C-alpha cells in the first residue's frame, strides 16, 4: 500500500471537479472521489492488519521517505501506525458523508466541492506525516479552505465567525511553529545536523530545559485546534456559522488534528515536559469538560448545542492525553474517532432538519418524529451516542478515558476524573432535553406537516456514520488493537 495514493486521489478528484459542467457531474465526481478515498482507507486498514498479524512490529508501516528540502533536512516522510490508520479511516467516513449531505448544494457548487475535497488532502497528509515540517504544512493547508467555506456558504454572522476561526487557528499554527523551531534547533544527530524527522527526534534526547520552554508552545498551539480551554471560543461560532458539510469536517476531523498533534508531536517528542505540565493540562481539560457541559445547557440553537458539547467532549481527549497512562491515551484516541463520527452525524442531522424547517431553534421545533422519522431517528442516535449510551462508540471511548485516568493514583488527578465523570449527567440533561423537545411532542408548526423525510443521499450519509459508531460501540477491540500498542510506545519514550 503506497500512502501517496491518499494524497494523489483527492488532488485528482479536486481538479477533476473543476471540469464538471453542472451540479450533477460535479457531485458525482466528488462522490466517486470520496468513495474511492474510503475504499483506499479500508485497503489501508486491511493491509495494516495483514502486516501486523504477519508479525511486522516496526513502529511505522508503509514508510516512504523522499528528500524534499535537502539542505534543511526536510523530508517528505510518510508512514502510518495504528492511530494514523484510525484517523485516516475517520477522515474517509466523514468526507464521504459530508459530500453526500451537500448533495443539493446549488451555490457555487464547483468551488464548494473543490474546497471540501481540498480539506481532505490536508487531513490525510497530516495524519500520515512523519516529518514535522510536512505535518505543519498540512496543518496549515486546511485553514484557508475553512475560512472560505464558512465565509461564503455559511449562515448567520458568517464573516465574523470565519475570521475568528481563521485567526485563532492561525495563532495556533504560529505557536506550533515556534515550538517546532525550538524543537528543531535542539535536535542534533551524531553528525550534529538538525532534524525534522519525527522518528529520529524520538530517538534523541531533547534537553529538558528546551522541552520545558517549547512544550507549551506546541501543546497550546495544537490545543487551540482541539478547543483547549480558554482558547475554545472559535468553536461555537465557527461550527454554527459553517455550512453543514463544513461543520461536519470542522468538528469531525479538524478538531482531531489538534488532539493528534498534541499526542504525536508535543507528548511523544517532549515526554519530560509532558509529565511536568500534565497537571495544567488536566486542570484545563477538566474545566473545558464541565464548562462546556454547562454552557451547552444554556444554548437554544441546535448547532450551538453541538458545538459547545464538542468543547466538552474534546476535553476528554485532552484529559486522556494529560493523564499519561496507556489506557487513558488509548481512550483519548478512541474518543477522537468516536467524537469525530458522532459529531459529524449530529451536524448532518441538524443540517437535514434545518434545510427543511429553516430553523435550528429548539423552541421552534417539535414533533419531528411523526413527520420525518428517519432524520429524527438519526438525530436521536447521535444524541444517545453523545451522552454515552452503551452500544455506541461514545460509551466505549469515555469509559476507557475514565478507566485510564483512575489508574493515575494521585488524589488531584482522581478528583479531576470524578468531576469529568460527573459531567456526563449534565450531558444527559442537555441532550435529552434538546432531542426530546425537538423530536417528541406535538408538531409546533403546521407547515412542518408538508415536509419530506431524508433523500437517499442523506440516508446514505447517516448510515455510513452510524455504521462506524455502532461498529466501535459493539466491537471496540478492533479499534483498541490499533491504538493500544501505539499508546504504549508513546509512553515508553
Which residues of this chain interact with another protein, rule CB under 8 A?
A: 67-72, 74, 133, 137-138, 140-141, 143-144, 147-148, 151-152, 158-159, 162-163, 166-167, 170-171, 174-175, 177-178, 181-182, 184-185, 213
Cβ proximity to another protein: between 44 and 150 the closer is 150
Contact predicate 236/300, CB 8 Å? no
State how far the alpha carbon of 273 is from the alpha carbons of 130, 144, 219, in Å: 21, 32, 10
Cβ proximity to another protein: between 134 and 400 the closer is 134
Cβ proximity to another protein: between 112 and 291 the closer is 112
CB of 15 to another protein, least distance (A): 12
CB of 23 to another protein, least distance (A): 17
Cα–Cα distance for residue pair 148/163, rounded to 1 Å: 10
Straight-line distance from the first to the last Cα atom of the chain, in angstroms, rounded to the nearest whole number: 28
Cβ proximity to another protein: between 159 and 453 the closer is 159
Q: ω before 230 within 30° of 0 (cis)?
A: yes
Number of neighbouring beta carbons within 10 Å of residue 260:
27
CB of 67 to another protein, least distance (A): 8
CB of 275 to another protein, least distance (A): 23
Cβ proximity to another protein: between 153 and 277 the closer is 153
CB of 101 to another protein, least distance (A): 22
Strands (E) located in 312-390:
none
Q: Compute, in degrees rounded to 10, the torsion defined by CA atoms 457, 253, 251, 117.
A: -50
Q: Where are the alpha helices (DSSP H) in 154-270?
A: 158-185, 198-203, 208-225, 234-241, 244-249, 255-261, 268-269
Cβ proximity to another protein: between 169 and 302 the closer is 169
Can you tell me which residue has the cell 478528484? 13
Cα–Cα distance for residue pair 263/268, rounded to 1 Å: 6
* Closest by Cα among 456, 465, 274, 436 to 368: 436
Cβ proximity to another protein: between 181 and 412 the closer is 181
CB of 310 to another protein, least distance (A): 23
Provide DSSP, 335-348.
HHHHHHHHHHHHHH
CB of 122 to another protein, least distance (A): 9
Amino acid at each position: 500500500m503506497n500512502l501517496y495514493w491518499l494524497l494523489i486521489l483527492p488532488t485528482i478528484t479536486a481538479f477533476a471537479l473543476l471540469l464538471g459542467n453542472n451540479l450533477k457531474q460535479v457531485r458525482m465526481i466528488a462522490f466517486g472521489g470520496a468513495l474511492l478515498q474510503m475504499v483506499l482507507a479500508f485497503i489501508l486498514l486491511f493491509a495494516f492488519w495483514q502486516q501486523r498479524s504477519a508479525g511486522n512490529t516496526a513502529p511505522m508501516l508503509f514508510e516512504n521517505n523522499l528528500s524534499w528540502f535537502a539542505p534543511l533536512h526536510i523530508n517528505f516522510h510518510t508512514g502510518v501506525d495504528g492511530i494514523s490508520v484510525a484517523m485516516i479511516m475517520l477522515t474517509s467516513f466523514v468526507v464521504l458523508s459530508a459530500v453526500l449531505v451537500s448533495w443539493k448544494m446549488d451555490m457555487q457548487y464547483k468551488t464548494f466541492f473543490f474546497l471540501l475535497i481540498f480539506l481532505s488532502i490536508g487531513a490525510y497528509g497530516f495524519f500520515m506525516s512523519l516529518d514535522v515540517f510536512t505535518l505543519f504544512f498540512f496543518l496549515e493547508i486546511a485553514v484557508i479552505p475553512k475560512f472560505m467555506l464558512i465565509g461564503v456558504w455559511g449562515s448567520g454572522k458568517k464573516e465574523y465567525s470565519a475570521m475568528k476561526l481563521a485567526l485563532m487557528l492561525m495563532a495556533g499554527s504560529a505557536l506550533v511553529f515556534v515550538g517546532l523551531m525550538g524543537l528543531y534547533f535542539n535536535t542534533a544527530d551524531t553528525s550534529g545536523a538538525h532534524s525534522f524527522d519525527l522518528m529520529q527526534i524520538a530517538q534523541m534526547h531533547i534537553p529538558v530545559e528546551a522541552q520545558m520552554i517549547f512544550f507549551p508552545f506546541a501543546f497550546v498551539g495544537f490545543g487551540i485546534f482541539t478547543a483547549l480551554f480558554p482558547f475554545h471560543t472559535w468553536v461555537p461560532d465557527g461550527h454554527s456559522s459553517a455550512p453543514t458539510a463544513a461543520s461536519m469536517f470542522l468538528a469531525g476531523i479538524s478538531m482531531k488534528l489538534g488532539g493528534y498533534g498534541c499526542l504525536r508531536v508535543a507528548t511523544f517528542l517532549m515526554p519530560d515536559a509532558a509529565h511536568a505540565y500534565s497537571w495544567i493540562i488536566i486542570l484545563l481539560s477538566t474545566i473545558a469538560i464541565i464548562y462546556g457541559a454547562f454552557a451547552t445547557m444554556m444554548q437554544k440553537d441546535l448547532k450551538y448545542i453541538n458545538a459547545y458539547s464538542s468543547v466538552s467532549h474534546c476535553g476528554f481527549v485532552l484529559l486522556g492525553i494529560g493523564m499519561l497512562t496507556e489506557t487513558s491515551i488509548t481512550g483519548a484516541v478512541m474518543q477522537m474517532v468516536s467524537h469525530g463520527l458522532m459529531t459529524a452525524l449530529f451536524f448532518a442531522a441538524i443540517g437535514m432538519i434545518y434545510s427543511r424547517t429553516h430553523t435550528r431553534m429548539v423552541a421552534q421545533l417539535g414533533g419531528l418524529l411523526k413527520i420525518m422519522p428517519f432524520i429524527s431517528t438519526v438525530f436521536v442516535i447521535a444524541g444517545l451516542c453523545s451522552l454515552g449510551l452503551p452500544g455506541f462508540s461514545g460509551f466505549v471511548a469515555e469509559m476507557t478515558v475514565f478507566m485510564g485516568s483512575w489508574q493515575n493514583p494521585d488524589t488531584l488527578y482522581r478528583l479531576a476524573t470524578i468531576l469529568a465523570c460527573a459531567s456526563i449527567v449534565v450531558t444527559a440533561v442537555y441532550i435529552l432535553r434538546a432531542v426530546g423537545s425537538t423530536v417528541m411532542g406535538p408538531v409546533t408548526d403546521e407547515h412542518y406537516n408538508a415536509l419530506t423525510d431524508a433523500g437517499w443521499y442523506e440516508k446514505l450519509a447517516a448510515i455510513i456514520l452510524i455504521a462506524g459508531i455502532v461498529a466501535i460501540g459493539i466491537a471496540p477491540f478492533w479499534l483498541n488493537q490499533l491504538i493500544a500498542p501505539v499508546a504504549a510506545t508513546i509512553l515508553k519514550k
